[in-house]
Structure 1
């Protein structure tokens, strides 16, 4: 591609108006167009032209896309958000497949698509720079009928409605200096049977982040903040089950049928709405719908102040919670709301730090620590950044990116103690305290108490259940571990970090000696994150226990690429299972798989 893509003809760009704009760039081209032309130039050209003209005139505008450039067999398009680009890609692939049904296999016109999100340099006439070209390079990684997206685009999407993301690892792209993490977007998998088979004894509520209608800035996640606060408050009500907001974000702004949300999330009720911003005024409308019959059981409008959204004297969230509680149970479930960051910018920084921490790229992982440290500098009396820094050190050890285990454990303990000094009543800090004492300090008695307290505070805290179940796995309580980790994923069925849930569920299956199940879950986890060390260890151990030493050797080889210094003794030194029979069994399995002593 060239350095610029013309948006419109006859306009003259001016160098003094160059600025950066956040855009999702989409590149689609015809697979093997040269071969098609060689077979039958006229017929192939007609089929390609018809497909691309329909895309330009109908499909792209319908999905809020803006054509940047048209090539003979390709299109460069800009979207405001990756969600629209994904929907457009689906529609184009679907239409290409429909047109191909009446054509011989060798003559079919299929597309490959690349999607990248970045800050693009523009003068509102043309787009410039490397970001424009990355989408085209990503498309080259895609096969017929496939879409490949960058990590930057993937991080703005969730599974479920957006499809399953298969991690392709770090990919080297032509004319791009550093390798980029890429994902293939495939058909969304069927809902896991263990979730479908759950018997719901309490009504389940899904809170969809509110949609911005006018005013304000799309970069400030007001809708997510309101949804988060409502979820935190309602999660303390034992009469309700609340779906994680990370699972509901995919439905924001979509015209999704209630029955689809019910099928995907198992929700009995859905709380959704919208907001408008005018100066410092915030106008919010919400409605509560019954997914079984589509009935709106409660709707209300609220006026508030944007600057006071997270202040202690702002009753917006309390009012929403009170309305929902009254409609569902005719009783006011609770009247207070949780403590939260005092400004919107800080909340955005917190979400960004969490996202970076889950990227298994050491450079991005390092940036996440900087985000949390910056938050602490601004808001020393907010506990969450301290807790996430403690968790950061746990992840660092899990990946093998450390030189001194005692130093990492001491740092994690220091951060979580500082978090608890600020706030001892929040389930997040209690959950991370349990994680630190499980994985780094091996004080499982303290960990158990912390997880139990976290779940007393918030019975719907999926991560607390996940980590408590993993603790039981280390202790050899396999059956209980499986039940608890399965319950955790039920609470957040479409979590964007689902790989992490599946990885720890695989550990639970390993403790239960269900080695086939452990491998199945671990491989599912690897499809979304190929660089998670714990997942590779599970496959190596389970394969070794089954006598499949070729598979065990292969997984161990991948593991040692991430952690070259790993040995059996080193594993036992840091494994939370080391003092139990599980630890001895697993270390012997790793030795049989070929791990040096």
Structure 2
């Protein structure tokens, strides 16, 4: 664990001083404001442009640049040799090593940055945004946010309030609500970093300048658009932009009657959120294709690895391992990156692609254990550890405990609900399985592995004895990934119990081509549901088609 060098108090009277009593203290208002801005930034990093404009305004770029340079020089003089241990700078960014920062006090002990009277409109807006919703930085004060923890480098997205073309106050409110709902849905995945709605709201009512958005918020992608009225219809036009180039990746339109707009907007919101996830995954894969791994930027590395992990070819799956290994190398203290690598090893066994299942099982459990050593309260890491215990070790008791802990930490963790549903299915708790699996699908509209959600929904419905629904979800899953072995087994089972014998045999032939050495005996030895009614039904269906 890294030694703490700096102590910062953000709630109540703001102080910035050495963790070692008496070594140094930062007293200037804007000097302390710089530390507050860095301490609350993703990975402790802000662009120079953001710092300049937030603290000195946009009127004169050169003056702001000189003022920031002078402020950093003052800080360096005050801190002496500690400066180089805490702060790194280059031509475009300033970074504070959060691993060496201790946050004093706790949320609720006074107002955020109380008494830090910096008379800059942008800084005041930023402060007010956090004061209105201080929970957005509460994670800084959790024990798991200590020194050596790091967040996985993932793409960052902002969703701007939709601009009312007619400057209509009612439409402005609807445009703000629409953006907030998109933001809330996107925030449910750990593959994206989403700028808080309050921070994005600072740009409400303006025509966007993508360079300003990129520099102010440090984002890779931006959702923006407008809202207007035509007769009794409200029409939204939404654009999704690459913030680095300003290129529009897609445009979507949603319309609805004014009086019913909020109640009718659900499908439109879902379509937009799904399109964001698909576009980022596609853009990332296009970026990494043919590019040496050393030239792939950090924020694209994990997204590319995860996306390839859930594609249909062995070549893509193998490349995903290379990308995930590189992501671990670059972020060795990121618990979630380790958990994703653990999931790769799980899928290699579950999908029948492992050349050494025993070693992959050991590697999967080792990766998730290390992830939980780093961040024992991380809902995603708890979930993947449960997945490993359930599907590889047949420790359903441990898996149940992990999923419960994960949902206590984050009730909106979609994968926890999904895998808990699978566990219920394996234990013949069919209705509970369906409830959990359907909740998972509602919570996770953007994941690049929707086939996996649909596949386990099929398993849940098998457990509940609803073979028509089980077949529907199996078909939906196979449309996206025709190689997923457990989905083929689920489809065979559904068809068998629907008395569609010939179709079941056809799918059996497909499974035989995909997994030549598969047998019912091997399934019953390895599968966690083997001792339950569900597993026995699957075995009966497989035997009926010649396995």
Please, what TM-score do these two structures have when normalized by structure 2?
A: 0.50
**1 or 2, which has the higher helix percentage?**
2
Please, what TM-score do these two structures have when normalized by structure 1?
A: 0.46
**1 or 2, which has the higher strand percentage?**
1
